[in-house]
Structure formats: C-alpha cells, structure tokens
Structure 1
Amino acid sequence: MSQALVTESELHAYVDGLVSETRRVEIEAYLAAHPHEAGRVAAYEAQNSALRALYDPVLEELVPSRLTATPRTTSWHLQRYAAGLVIALASGAAGWFLHGVGDEDAVPARALRAGGAFQQAASLAHQAAIAHVVYSPDARHPVEVGADQEAHLVTWLSKRLGTPVRPPKLGKLGYDLIGGRLLPGQSGPVAQFMYQDRGQQRLTLYVSTEQSHNKDTSFRFSEQGPVNVFYWIDGKFGYALSGTIDKATLANVAAAVYEQLDKPP
C-alpha cells in the first residue's frame, strides 16, 4: 500500500499497537518521510502515556466492600472489572473526585462533613488535570485561539462563560501565553489558558464559573497521577493551575496567578 494512503484512523491504530506488523513497517516509513505527521504521532503517544499514568493506579485499588457484599467472595477478574467501571465513571467526574488528593493535602473531617463545596473543589482539580493531560502534549493544536489573538480570545471566552475572564501575565516567571480554548464543564462551558516556557514545559489554567456553593477556599494541592494541581474557589469562580513541574515551583506560579486575578484589570 502506498505511503500516501496512510489514514488518520491508521495513525491512531498505530499508536495503540493495533496494526499488523507489515502495516506497522509501512507506517513507520511514512512517518520517516513526513516529520510533521511523526510529531503528531509523538504527541498522541505522550498523551496516551500521561493518561495511563493518571488512571492505571485505580486498577490496583481495592474494590469497596459494598460492591462485594452479596457474593461472599469475589474473583480477581470481577475486581478488575469493577475497577474498570470506576475509571469509566471518573471520566464524567461522577464519584471519583477524591482519588487524586495527595497525602500532603489530607482531607479534614469537617471538610468531608461540609459535603458539596469540598467535593466540588476536588472535582475541579480532577477535571483540570484531565484537560491538561489531553491538550498540553499536542504539538500542532494545543489551543483553539492563539496568543496573537489575545483580545479576541478574552472577548470570546468572556462571552461564552457569561462573565469577564482574562489570562494572567506570567512572563516574569518564564511562562508565556500560548492561547486558550473553550471546554465543556459539568453544567456549562469552562475556559483553559495554556502557557509554555523556553524548555517547552507547559502549564494550564482551568477557569470555571460552575461553583454553585460559592464558598471561597484557600489554596489546595492535589496530585493527579503525573500532574500536580493547585486549585481554589473565589465566589462563583473555580481556578486550577496544572503542570508536571514540582510542587514548589507550581505554588509560586499559582500565587502569581491568584494575585493578578484578585485585582481589577
């Protein structure tokens, strides 16, 4: 088959290891001759690796006793199946919002009793981490509107979210705005701004206006697989800064973000 006939679906199948050995060799020859396509495939592979690192640990978690109460014993295969269901639910943020909270961000008993507000904040961190993992590895289309159209980006996202939003300036910390995009939230649109330093390290700021409990929170830190997240709620706004950089560096950037968002434009 000609190299020119390599399709998009075949590239995805190649990344997932689902092509025949013969076709794999042909696709690799095609990628060698088309460096832009090879870069796109590398981004897909990086995204898959990040998603596996984010979700695979749940496969090793114990199945809750309530799921195994009817049969007195549960086979290993059934446990794996139940864990898989947990992953499926997590993609919709239905019931797995506490999974990624790190040991250094222990949950106080009073927060658990508070219910909705705490759960909403933890869900915010998890959704932000997923969005970071999905879009930050993309080499060609990491954002919908680039930083060269920042005025349009701000107007567009503010209109869609129904309130003024703007990207903080992080150039003094070495991170320049790449652009942003609109994402689906749990009950409406959310915004994502993406930044990058000279070493191609990317950070994303997730902005939500879905905080129905409107209970302000201080900074919280969460480890979501390979992604570190600092998140907080300010009135109806929920903010989450995500990246694979170390906690101390991310905290410094988060503080700069908070300081700018707390001031009028």
Structure 2
Amino acid sequence: MTDLSMKLSAYLDGELEAADAEMIEALLESDPAAQAELDALMAADEMAQEQFDVLLSDPVPLALAQKIKSSPVGMAPARPASRPVWGAVAAGLALFIFGGMGGYFVKDQISPSGTVVANAGWLSDIADYHAIYSTQQRHLVEVSAAESDHIVNWLGATVGVDFSIPDLTEFGLSFEGGRLLVAGGKPVAQLMYRDADGAVIALCLQSGESGAAEAAPDFKQQTLKGFDFVSWNGTNAKYVVIGPGGKSGLMDIAALSAREV
C-alpha cells in the first residue's frame, strides 16, 4: 500500500490531524487519480462490510462449536490473540480486494480499455438507480415529458446546473420525462429516454468544478455493473449517458447530448 493510500485510508477513518485532512481534501479537488483511489477505497469498505454481514449470518462450524462446548468456563485461551479476530478478517478481505487490483471487486470498476474507472463513486450510484428505474413502466419518471419546462426549472434549480433537454429522436429515442437522484451525496438530474424496443437510455448531470469551456468534450467509455457509460465534463457540470450493456450508438448519443444539453 502506497503512502497516499495509507493517508486516504486514515482520512476515511477520521484519523488525520486537521491540517493533514485539509491537505488531502485539497489534493482530491485537484487530482482525479487521488479521487479515483478514494472512490475505490470507499467501495472496498462497503464490500468488506457486506462480507462481514455474510460471515455473521453463517452458522458456527460444528468442529468449532464442539471445541467451545468442551472448553471449561472461564478458561483462558492458550495463546492470547495479538489482534481482534475481525481485524484479521478485515485484513484478509483487504488483501483479497486489492491484491493485484484484480478479481471480483475490480472487474466491474474497469473500462473497456483496461483503465480504472475514474468516477466509480457517482457512476456506481447511477448504475444502482438505473437497474431499478429502467425496469419500470408507469413509474419510469417522476415528472412526465408533458411538463418539460417544469423539469428544466425544477431539476436545474435543484442540481445547480442550467440545461436543455436534448432531442434524441434521430436515434429512435423518445423523451419520457425526468427524475431526481442522489449520487455521491449530491443531487443528480436524470432525463429518461426509451427506444421502440423498450430499452431505457438516461442522461444524468451533476454540478462539478467550474472550468474553461472545452472545444470538444473528452468522452470516456466504461462498463459498470452491466451498464455502458459515456461520461464527460462541462464548464460547471459533469454528465453521463447510461444504457444497457452492448447498446450500440451510445457514443453518438452522448455526442449529440453534449451539444444540446
């Protein structure tokens, strides 16, 4: 584990002095790689907690139960534990998760090009929401397309980003309406589209750091939790188009969205 990884871990655990914590927060604001590593640590912590829950729900092995039953009450253990058993379990899980940056945890956090997803934190939340809402029919959206002006005013004010609703009919997509999400602790505007086959494509936007306008957006493609993403940054917002895994034309949809949104 690198020195930065150790500091990020201590930052998550609230173990840093105020000055060190401020340095880490400044680094996270300016260094996408550091933010990506923090996102990975947060996801690993969540996965470890899930593993703990599974272990707690498992029955005690028969051999261990018999050994405990045969031990005299109050008998001291032959060797005092050098650390709590859950500490050992946590360490083992950490090694499993981060060992070589491979295995189960990382497979859903890697883009097709093999690079680690830079914004796995908010994209992971988007994927979780999309897995639920994209299967809905009547309740796909909170506000229907018939109230497009209200969607723009409501979501724009809530998210803090002015936007327009892209017309994606040339891709066979009809605008269904919008809803409000929360990802990474911040509000997200989600605009929902559906094609003739019923597949749902969504454009999501969230406020981001202010910056100079780019001549051409830097689109990033990646796959997470079975969904394909195309993400990019604007002058004061970040955007992502999400669709079913293997959906063709997603990059073209994102390119038009970037021009019109």
The TM-score, its normalising length taken from structure 2, stands at 0.55
For 1:46-87, what per-residue CA distance to the aligned partner results, in whole angstroms no more than 9, with x for missing partners? xxxxxxxxxxxx89xxxxxxxxxx98xx9xxx58x948xx8x
Separation in structure 1 between the aligned mates of residue 196 and residue 205 of structure 2, nearest angstrom: 24
Match of 2:253?
Answer: 253
**Contact 1:190 1:208 (8 Å CA) reproduced:** yes
Identify unmatched segments of 5+ residues in structure 2: 1-46, 49-81, 98-104
Q: Please state whether the residue corresponding to 1:242 is helix, strand or coil.
A: strand
Residue in structure 1 matching 2:111, options 84, 95, 102: 102
**Greater RCO, 1 or 2 (C-alpha within 8 Å, sep 6+):** 1
**Contact 1:97 1:126 (8 Å CA) reproduced:** no
Q: Please state whether the residue corresponding to 2:164 is helix, strand or coil.
A: coil
Match of 2:188?
Answer: 190
Separation in structure 2 between the aligned mates of residue 104 and residue 161 of structure 1, nearest angstrom: 31
**Contact 1:124 1:238 (8 Å CA) reproduced:** no
Match of 1:222?
Answer: 222
| Counterparts in 2 of 1:163 and 1:195: CA distance versus 1, 3 Å | same
1:109-128 equivalences under 5 Å are 119=118, 121-128=119-126
Residue in structure 1 matching 2:209, options 202, 209, 212: 212
Match of 2:129?
Answer: 131
Q: Which stretch of the first structure deviates more once superposed, 199-208 or 183-192?
A: 183-192
| Counterparts in 2 of 1:148 and 1:259: CA distance versus 1, 3 Å | same
Separation in structure 1 between the aligned mates of residue 114 and residue 248 of structure 2, nearest angstrom: 14
**Contact 1:229 1:243 (8 Å CA) reproduced:** yes
1:55-74 equivalences under 5 Å are none
Q: Which amino acid aligns with 1:102?
A: S
Separation in structure 1 between the aligned mates of residue 247 and residue 108 of structure 2, nearest angstrom: 18
Match of 1:110?
Answer: none
Q: Identity of counterpart residues, as a percentage?
A: 25
For 1:193-227, what per-residue CA distance to the aligned partner results, in whole angstroms no more than 9, with x for missing partners? 11001111110111100x23758761111111210
**Contact 1:146 1:180 (8 Å CA) reproduced:** yes
Q: Which amino acid aligns with 1:235?
A: T
Q: Does 1:202 align with 2:200?
A: yes
Highest CA radius of gyration, 1 or 2?
2
Q: Which amino acid aligns with 1:258?
A: A
Separation in structure 1 between the aligned mates of residue 245 and residue 252 of structure 2, nearest angstrom: 11
RMSD: 3.9
What's the CA shift for 1:124? Answer: 3.5
**Contact 2:165 2:260 (8 Å CA) reproduced:** no
Separation in structure 2 between the aligned mates of residue 133 and residue 159 of structure 1, nearest angstrom: 26
Separation in structure 1 between the aligned mates of residue 245 and residue 253 of structure 2, nearest angstrom: 11
Match of 1:35?
Answer: none
Q: Please state whether the residue corresponding to 1:104 is helix, strand or coil.
A: coil
What's the CA shift for 1:248? Answer: 4.2
| Counterparts in 2 of 1:128 and 1:196: CA distance versus 1, 3 Å | same
Residue in structure 1 matching 2:149, options 140, 144, 151: 151
How many residues end up aligned between the 2 structures? 173
Q: Please state whether the residue corresponding to 1:222 is helix, strand or coil.
A: strand
Residue in structure 1 matching 2:172, options 171, 174, 179: 174
